Amino acid sequence: MTKTRTRIIARIDVKNEFVIKGIHLEGLRKVGDPIELAKKYYKEGVDEILLMDAVASLYGRNNLFHIIEKACREVFIPITIGGGIRSVDDIDKALKSGADKISLNTQAIKQPDLITKAAEIYGSQCIVASIEAKHKNGWWEAYVDNGREETGINVVEWAQELERLGAGEILLTSVDMEGTKKGFDHALIQEVYSKVGIPVIISGGAGKPEHVIDLAKHVDIDAVAFASILHYNTFGIKEIKEQLISKGMNVRL
């Protein structure tokens, strides 16, 4: 079981002021208010919150800065903001709004040196490189624009490059498993974990605590992002943590 303390993260995807959830990043439906859910998960004991603007790349802007500002008045755990961040100025604005970290995906692929510049200015610990992965003929391809656009880039090679560029952490989302609640893409996760030395946040597929416990038999999990099972009240944060601890995982209760 995990020697590393595994962080439990609530992932909140936002579109036009509402929290949304779908399957394979498609068929999105409204499930709540981002500030209210952030407060709820904080009070329940989540370790971190990930706020993602699901349509920011389409419109060339991030609409979460004001949400972060409001959330930070009542939520006192690390918050990562992602979606539509295109420049050092955007990163600066996000951090000044109250975010602790920023997540880059589309712009990291378009402008890889932004990772290096941002890490030099703000420190690698602030920079989370997001990868949206889809399985394709025996390998995984990196996608952008919330899983809509293919890039031709090999996920495992890209993860290694992101570490070299200066990212402090990787958010690895399996688009194939995302929203299905059927469990994680073990092969993808193990392959990436074996090739990088920075922490990896696992996202996409969590349907119950047993899925995490099963994965922990194969990799020393740094962090897991939950969305569906939290938003639909299938499991609470405390219940998830207690089940993981009961199986020997190192989780902060």
Segment 58-87, tens digit of pLDDT:
555 667 888 889 999 999 999 999 988 999
The confidence score (pLDDT) of residue 93 equals 93
pLDDT of residue 59: 58
CA distance 138 to 143: 16
Decide if 89 is catalytic: no
CATH class of 7-246: alpha beta
Q: What is the pLDDT of residue 148?
A: 81
Q: Burial code of 163-183, b = ≥16 C-beta within 10 A, e = fewer?
A: bebbbbbbbbbbbbbbbebeb
pLDDT of residue 28 exceeding 70, the answer is no
What is the pLDDT of the chain when averaged over all its residues? 92
Q: How far apart are CA 163 and CA 166, in angstroms?
A: 5
Instruction: Give all strands (DSSP E) within 24-148, no chain letters.
Output: 26-32, 48-53, 79-82, 101-104, 127-136, 139-144
Residue 43 is predicted with a pLDDT of 97
- DSSP class of residue 24 equals T
pTM for the full model? 0.94
Q: How confident is the model at residue 22 (pLDDT cuts 50, 70, 90)?
A: low
Q: What is the pLDDT of residue 10?
A: 97
Cα–Cα distance list, 166 to 92, 143, 197, 198 (Å):
17, 20, 12, 10
Q: What is the Cα–Cα distance from 187 to 166, expressed in whole angstroms?
A: 25
Active-site choice (13, 48, 141, 178): 13
Q: What is the pLDDT of residues 162-180, one digit of tens each?
A: 999 999 999 999 999 998 9
Given the residues 48, 90, 132, 169, the one annotated as active site: 132
Model confidence at 224: pLDDT above 80? yes
